[in-house]
Structure 1
């Protein structure tokens, strides 16, 4: 079995979710009483946000590489970054990696293709929604990604950073997020929503809303990691 390494802390709530899902899925797939052995390096979310706010993608890349080096030294054979936004520098860090990483974006693209989805809303932090790293990957399969309008984008980012990351999951916020889904279904004819922020599945727990499937990037990423761990 390969040893998994996880870059966590981006943020803490979703890292806990990854931890629990990895253990549960591993035990389900192996069907025995054992538990998976893996390594977590928890990084400083504030540092990551400071790099993003300053548009210092080089600094972000170097910070992640330092943490991935720690995973490799701790014995990890491969790794994942348990967040979407840091994948903005995935292509930059890839040639310099000491161990291979499984991309959450590539794994989600494969899941969307398998479901024959063609026109998806992209929810996440403002950094993720405004960047090109998701659309360019999905475009390879002819899948179009649409982002909310500026007002709704601001709403999602604000609730994400000020409620979801600190672990506050409120019914009013859930209703507000679903209202954005409803608007985009009516105005943009979306056929699915990518929950491209790993705290979003913690508040939007249902896999489908009014006929619109949600792509839970945490679930997809964990499934890809376990498959590689057991390969």
Structure 2
């Protein structure tokens, strides 16, 4: 088994299912009572998201690279960041990282391509929606990314920081996200919506989405289980 170093805490509401589902996913694959070795270094979403939104790439990369080095020192064979926004500086981190990294963006792109999508919407932090890193990756398979309007992006980030990252899921917020998705399907012609923040699936849970969803967290977890099993 390969040891995973997970960069978590960005935010904790998604780090919890990452930890649980990776361990039990491996156990299911092994077919007996077993949990794989794993280490988590917990950062703060209240550091990552503002740096990303402000375009402070060097500061963000340094913050995340310190965490990657921590999990490397703890014996991790490879690492992953349980956060879409952090992938704004994935290329820089990959160059400096002492161990391989598994990208949440690339594995989601591969899933979207396998399902035959040509145009998909993207919901996430402002750093994710404006950073261009999803577009860069998805363009390699010819998939077009559509993002919400500027005022919708501000609404999404505000709700993430003021509610979801604190564990609050409110019906009014769920309806707000549903309306944004519905408008993008109607006006932008999206065929599916990327839940491009690992906390956004909490908002969509139990909600009927106007289009199919690409849950980056679940897709990433499945890829990490595969990587551990190597």
Q: Mark yes or no: TM-score above 0.5.
A: yes
Other-structure match for 2:69: 69
CA distance in 2, matches of 1:5, 1:101: 9
Look up the match of 1:214: 213
Query: Is the deviation greater in 95-104 or in 39-48?
Result: 39-48
Distance 2:46 2:124 in 1: 17
Runs of 4+ in 1 over 4 A off after TM superposition: none
Deviations, residues 118-169 of structure 1 (Å, cap 9, x unaligned)? 1100000011101111101101110000011122212111111111111101
Structure 1 distance, partners of 2:207, 2:136, is 25
Q: Over the residues paired in the alignment, what is the CA RMSD in angstroms?
A: 1.5
Looking at structure 1, the residues matched to 65 and 97 of structure 2 have their Cα atoms a distance apart, in angstroms, of 7
Distance 1:183 1:50, change over 3 A: closer
Structure 2: any 5+ residue segments left out of the alignment? none
> Equivalents in 2 of 1:26, 1:213: separation in Å?
27
- Would you say 1:88 and 2:77 are equivalent positions? no
For residue 133 of structure 1, what is the aligned residue in structure 2? 133
> Can you give the 5+ residue segments of structure 1 that lack an aligned partner in the other structure?
none
Contact map agreement 2:48 2:85 (CA 8 A) in 1: no
CA distance in 2 between counterparts of 1:156 and 1:208 reads: 18
How far 1:208 moved relative to its partner? 6.5
The TM-score with structure 1 as length reference comes to 0.95
Distance 2:72 2:207 in 1: 34
1:148 aligned counterpart, secondary structure: coil
Q: 197-206 vs 45-54, which deviates more?
A: 45-54
Given that 1:208 and 1:214 are in contact with CA atoms closer than 8 Å, whether structure 2 keeps it comes out as no
Does residue 226 (structure 1) correspond to residue 222 (structure 2)? The answer is: no
8 Å contact kept, 2:55–2:127: no
- Mean Cα deviation higher: 62-71 or 191-200: 62-71
Question: With structure 2 as the length reference, what TM-score do the two structures score?
Answer: 0.95
The match for 2:110 is 110
Number of paired residues?
Answer: 230
Q: Summarize the alignment of residues 153-164 of structure 1 with structure 2, pairs less than 5 Å apart.
A: 153-164=153-164
Write the deviation string for residues 101-122 of structure 1: whole angstroms up to 9, x where unpaired.
0000001000101111111000
